[in-house]
Structure formats: structure tokens, C-alpha cells
């Protein structure tokens, strides 16, 4: 079965594969268009599987808000170059919007959700891996919601609207009007981006992290040679200090470096004449916690030259 240049063009538009790959697929299938589509999909899945083990610590964080709900999503790629790719940015943007319609933080449910234009989010991600040529991972998501009030989004150093490397959401529960909550939410979001809190309050801090801090403090106290009761107070004081500095509500506002965030919110509520509660927040920093591979670029180039 013969095929035309228009068939190659249509196949490329349908699958996103390269022109030569499309021609090869049509040659192998005798010009059968649908068989060529299936062939390219199979190749894409195989290519994606091979790339899935490669470290992906770049990419983008996306945020989206609708009414009293908001969501943040992190999608990783291998290089920052891909994060600037229109196809990748469109995927992160649309996936974040899909996540906003989902009533949970279930990343597997998000992968299985319908993607705009057809297929699922997970299938579209696999297609992107095949066509863009890099490993990409839908890493995490978090949803915040209030019964009444406002969700304020903030993107630090945005690469595109609601896309960047540090995404923040602030959930304020209150009957105060939006013109009161919006500036407060933005101020808090900027603080969160800069101060990197580990939890909303001390009770939310990771017990394992606190235990590590306690062990480090105990070692330092032991080195002091002071009496056991004094050492105990030194350790307790160090752990309390860590908790104060890493729980959002007890952190000192970066705006004046003296007012605890809890007081900032309380003062805003008092001025508004109605209580304001900082119910929750999200801070996603791209690649946070991913161990990046350290490569010798010069050695890679030399190896490539030698063939």
C-alpha cells in the first residue's frame, strides 16, 4: 500500500514522532496508517521504559486555584531545557488543572484521570517521554481547601503563568472579604517561599527529624562536660528552638524578622473584625529531596569523541 507526503505529515501530527520515524513506520506497515500509529506507540512505550530509570530532578511545579480549593503538582524532567519546552509546559499546566478537579492527593488516581484531548494523564506523560526524549515523572501533588475564605497561589520566579520552581499555596479560612485576605495570603506565601517551613505547627513536624535533632543536641551537650540535668535542659532547649524555627506559625515573619506568623494572622483578623485562620499551606520546591547524579561532563565528551 503506497503512502504520500501528506500521510507522513498526518502521522507526525497524530503521534508527535519524528518525520523519519513516521516514514519508517509507514514503510514497515506497507502504508497502513493505523498500523503505523500502533507501531510508533509501541516504540514510544519501549523508549519510555528504557528512560524511566534515569534521574529526573528538573522540570516544573504547577499551581491552580478555583474558588476555595487549590492544588500544586510537581512534574520532573532530566534537564532544565525540557522545562522550557512548550509541549512540556502545556502538559504540566493541563495536568495541574485536571488535578484541581480531583478531590484527593492520590497521584496514581491523577495518572489514571482523563487528559484533555484523549487518553489519560499517565498515557500522555508516556507519549511525552517518547517524543521529547527524556525521562519525565509525575512526582507529587497536594490539595488544600477551605470551607469559606481564600486560597492564595504564589509562584517564585515563574517561568510561565502558574509554572515555576517554587510553588506555594496558602489556605485562609475566614469570613473576611477577598480584598483583605488576598494581600495577607500573598505576604504569607512569600514568607513560606523564603523561610521553607517544614510543617504548619510543631505537632506536624516529622518525629524522625526531631529525633535526629535530639541526638545531635545530646552529642553536643555531652561534649560540654556539664552535669546531666544541665545537659537535659540543653537538649530540650535545642529541640524546642528547632521546632520554633521550622514550624510556620512560630516562625518570625521575613517581613520584619520579629513577629511570629501566628501573630501576623491574628493581627490581620483583629483589623478585619473577624477571625482569620491559616488552615494549611503547600510549598513545593522543584527537585526537593531527589538525589541528583553528579557527572563529569568533560569525561562524557571525551568518551563520546572516542566513540
Higher-pLDDT residue of 8 and 41 is: 8
Asked whether residue 300 carries a pLDDT value surpassing 90, the answer given is no
Per-residue confidence (pLDDT) for residue 307, from 0 to 100: 47
For the residues 223-229, what does the mean pLDDT come to? 91
Q: Which pLDDT tens digit goes with each residue over 227-257?
A: 999 999 999 999 999 999 999 999 999 999 9
Going by C-alpha positions, the residue among 270, 64, 70, 98 that lies closest to residue 176 is 270
DSSP, collapsed to helix, strand or coil, labels residue 233 as helix
Domain borders along the chain are 5-51, 58-203+247-285, 206-244
pLDDT of 154 reads 97
> Does 58-203+247-285 match 5-51 at the fold level?
no
Q: With contact defined as beta carbons under 8 Å apart, do 195 and 163 qualify?
A: no
- CA separation, residue 154 to residues 170, 255, 298 (Å): 8, 16, 39
pLDDT at 52 over 70: no
Please give the grid coordinates belonging to residue 19.
Answer: 518525520
Domain 58-203+247-285 superfamily per CATH: Elongation factor Ts, dimerisation domain (3.30.479.20)
User: Which tens digit of pLDDT belongs to each residue from 175-188?
Assistant: 999 999 999 999 99
CATH placement of domain 5-51: 1.10.8.10
Exposure class string for 28-51: b at 16+ Cβ within 10 A, else e = ebeeebeebbebbbebbeeebeeb
Q: For the residues 101-120, what does the mean pLDDT come to? A: 94
Model pTM score:
0.76
Tens digits of residue pLDDT in 72-101:
999 999 888 888 999 999 999 999 999 999
The pLDDT tens digits for 259-277 are: 999 999 999 999 999 999 9
**37 vs 89, more confident:** 89
More confident residue, 239 or 8: 239
Residue with cell 497502513: 32
pLDDT at residue 48 greater than cutoff 50: no
Q: To the nearest whole number, what is the mean pLDDT of the chain?
A: 88
- Residue 164 to residue 158: CA distance in whole angstroms: 4
Distance between CA 92 and CA 184 in Å, rounded?
28
Q: 191 is written with which cell numbers? A: 514568607
pLDDT of residue 28: 87
Give the integer Cα–Cα distance in Å for 199 and 243: 9
**How far is residue 273 from each of residues 47, 155, 175, 177, 263, measured CA to CA in Å?**
59, 30, 10, 11, 15
Which one has a higher pLDDT value, 281 or 103?
Answer: 281
C-alpha cell at 93: 499546566
Residue 159 corresponds to which cell in the numbers above? 517561568
For the residues 98-111, what does the mean pLDDT come to?
Answer: 94
Residues with Cβ within 8 Å of residue 102, at least 6 apart in sequence: 71, 109, 110, 113, 143
Question: Where does the pLDDT of residue 49 fall: very low under 50, low under 70, confident under 90, or very high at 90 and above?
Answer: very low
Amino acid at each position: 500500500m503506497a503512502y504520500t507526503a501528506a500521510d507522513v505529515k498526518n502521522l507526525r501530527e497524530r503521534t508527535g514522532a519524528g518525520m523519519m520515524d513516521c516514514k519508517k513506520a509507514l514503510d514497515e506497515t506497507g502504508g497502513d496508517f493505523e498500523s503505523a500509529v500502533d507501531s510508533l506507540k509501541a516504540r514510544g512505550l519501549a523508549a519510555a521504559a528504557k528512560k524511566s530509570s534515569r534521574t529526573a530532578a528538573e522540570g516544573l511545579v504547577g499551581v491552580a486555584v478555583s474558588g476555595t480549593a487549590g492544588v500544586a503538582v510537581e512534574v520532573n524532567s532530566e534537564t532544565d531545557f525540557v522545562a522550557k519546552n512548550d509541549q512540556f509546559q502545556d502538559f504540566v499546566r493541563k495536568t495541574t488543572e485536571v488535578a484541581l478537579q480531583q478531590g484527593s492527593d492520590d497521584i496514581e488516581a491523577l495518572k489514571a484521570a482523563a487528559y484533555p484531548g484523549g487518553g489519560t494523564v499517565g498515557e500522555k506523560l508516556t507519549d511525552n517521554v517518547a517524543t521529547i526524549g527524556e525521562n519525565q515523572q509525575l512526582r507529587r501533588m497536594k490539595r488544600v481547601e477551605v470551607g469559606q475564605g481564600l486560597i492564595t497561589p504564589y509562584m517564585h520566579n515563574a517561568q510561565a503563568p502558574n509554572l515555576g520552581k517554587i510553588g506555594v499555596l496558602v489556605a485562609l479560612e475566614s469570613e473576611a472579604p477577598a480584598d483583605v485576605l488576598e494581600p495577607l495570603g500573598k505576604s504569607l506565601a512569600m514568607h513560606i517561599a523564603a523561610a521553607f517551613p517544614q510543617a504548619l505547627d510543631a505537632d506536624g513536624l516529622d518525629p524522625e527529624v526531631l529525633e535526629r535533632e535530639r541526638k545531635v543536641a545530646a552529642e553536643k551537650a555531652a561534649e560540654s562536660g556539664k552535669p546531666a540535668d544541665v545537659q537535659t535542659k540543653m537538649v530540650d532547649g535545642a529541640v524546642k528552638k528547632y521546632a520554633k524555627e521550622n514550624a510556620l506559625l512560630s516562625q518570625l515573619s521575613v517581613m520584619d524578622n520579629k513577629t511570629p506568623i501566628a501573630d501576623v494572622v491574628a493581627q490581620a483578623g483583629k483589623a478585619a473584625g473577624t477571625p482569620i485562620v491559616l488552615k494549611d499551606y503547600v510549598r513545593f520546591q522543584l527537585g526537593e529531596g531527589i538525589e541528583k547524579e553528579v557527572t563529569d561532563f568533560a569525561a562524557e565528551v571525551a568518551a563520546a569523541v572516542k566513540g
